[in-house]
Structures are given as C-alpha cells and as structure tokens.
Amino acid sequence: MDRVYKIIFRIEIDTLFDDRGKLSLEKMEHLVMLCTSMQNAGFKVLIVSSGAIMLGTEKMGLSEPPEELITKQAIAAIGQADLIKYYQMFFDGFDQIVAQVLITRDVVSNPVRNNNAKKTLNTLLNKGIIPIINENDSVSTDDIILNDNYPLTLIVAQLVKPHAIVIKSYQENRFNLLVRNNPEPIEVSEENLFNLADLIKSGKGIAKNINFDCKTGKSVLNIGAPDEKQKAVNMISGFPEVITLT
C-alpha cells in the first residue's frame, strides 16, 4: 500500500491579493490549480487561508480594515462567506470538493474539541475533500491581533500531523517547504512542487533533502512573518509550536 502524504498550504494575503489590496482571481485560480494538482498527485491537501478581513473590508466599501477589534471580527465574518465562495467556485472548476472548517486555539487543549477536530479533518481527507481552514473570528481573535495565520497553521499541523507545510515565498513561483522534523525550510520552485510526489518516490531532486524520520529538538524561527513579528518556537510533535512573541 502506498504511503499517504499530508501537506498544508499556508495562504497569506500576498498570495491572493494584488498590490491594490483587491482579490486577484488569476492568483486564486493558479493557487487552486496547484493544490488540485498536488491532490491528484497523491497528497492529502489542507489549506489554511487568510483573506477574510480583506474581502470583508472590500464588501463593506471601506478603504482599509477597521481598527476596533469587535468591528474587525464582524468584517472578518462578512469576508469569510466570500472567501469560501471564491474557493468553492474555483475548485468546482477542477471537480475538487472542498469544505470550510473554522477552529480556535483551544482545539489543542480541550480533549473533546481536539478529538472532534481530528476526526472531522481526517474524515474529509480520507474522502478526498480539501479542508479550507480559518480561525473562527467571531469567538477567537489570535490571528486578527497578530495579523498572521502561522500560529493557526501550526495548530492544524498538531491535529493532522502533516509531512510538510508549504509557504508561498515572496519571490515569484517560489515556495518554502517546512518538512516534518526538519528545522530548516527548503526553498523549491513551483515546478518541483508540482512534481513533489514523484520526486519523493523516485529519490531524485529535492527528495534527497527531505527526511521524514529524523529527530531534532532544535529551535527555529517563524518563517514568512515580518522581522518585527518573528516568534520563538520549539519543535513539538515534529513541527514548531509558538511559545512567546519577541
């Protein structure tokens, strides 16, 4: 029986929006095509996506997101409906079913919620459905305050134990690949990301840099976040978990 690989795509604002702060349908379609290709190549794909606040801001005709936290939560709730609508529209074009999953940080510490979340996510993955995950902004504000969905991505990683987290690089068509139990991110081209499943099986290309079994206790820094928001992290269950803000 072939080994099943789980992979999380961490999607930030720059991955979906243009320089004017407007959703780029071209960018989103390209992302959806990439995720669908990875799914068809044999991966179980999950998406942790930003974008709700930006879409809600645009929907309400505001020039920029509100400063007041409660208003920002309401804007996020408005935008979340549009975000999943766009994802569903594009994934439908590739005959790929998706599901919306909203979680909060206490899903890690609450045994009942933890068990429910794990079962839900793994059931979706086993059925070939891509979960599109976001913070439940109406009851949780962690991602809103940090303006960063990396902590949420790590929570999802603790739930499903993926083999890798994919983070879009600021460079065009480049990605950072954070592999389980490997503290150093691997930069890959989009072409190699498309062929990752075959490369792993064949042992060629970037596959030689990927070790799913090595153990490490090293600390690493959050990748993909601005310097002033870097977080001290510690390797927990193969992926870093946020400890403190610097």
> For 84-127, how does the pLDDT look when each residue is reduced to its tens digit (9 = 90+)?
999 999 999 999 999 999 988 888 788 999 999 999 999 999 99
Taking 80 as the threshold, does the pLDDT of residue 226 lie above it? no
Pairing relationship of beta strands 164-168 and 5-11 according to DSSP bridges: parallel
Residues 243, 246: Cα–Cα separation, whole Å: 10
Identify the pLDDT of residue 19.
83
Mean pLDDT across 232-244: 48
DSSP code at position 3: P
Report the half-sphere exposure of 54 (CA within 13 A, side-chain side): 18
Identify the pLDDT of residue 215.
37
Structural domains in the chain plus CATH codes: 5-214 (3.40.1160.10)
Identify the pLDDT of residue 169.
66
* Burial classification of residue 213, based on how many CB atoms lie within 10 Å of its CB (0-12 exposed, 13-18 middle, 19 or more buried): exposed
What pTM value is reported for the model?
0.80
Whole-Å CA distances, 191 to 34, 62, 93, 187, 205: 10, 38, 22, 12, 11
Identify the pLDDT of residue 230.
44
Confidence of residue 186 (pLDDT cuts 50, 70, 90): confident
The secondary element (H helix, E strand) that includes residue 196 is helix 196-202
Identify the pLDDT of residue 151.
79
Residue 190 one-letter amino acid: E
Q: How many CB atoms lie within 10 A of CB 117?
A: 22
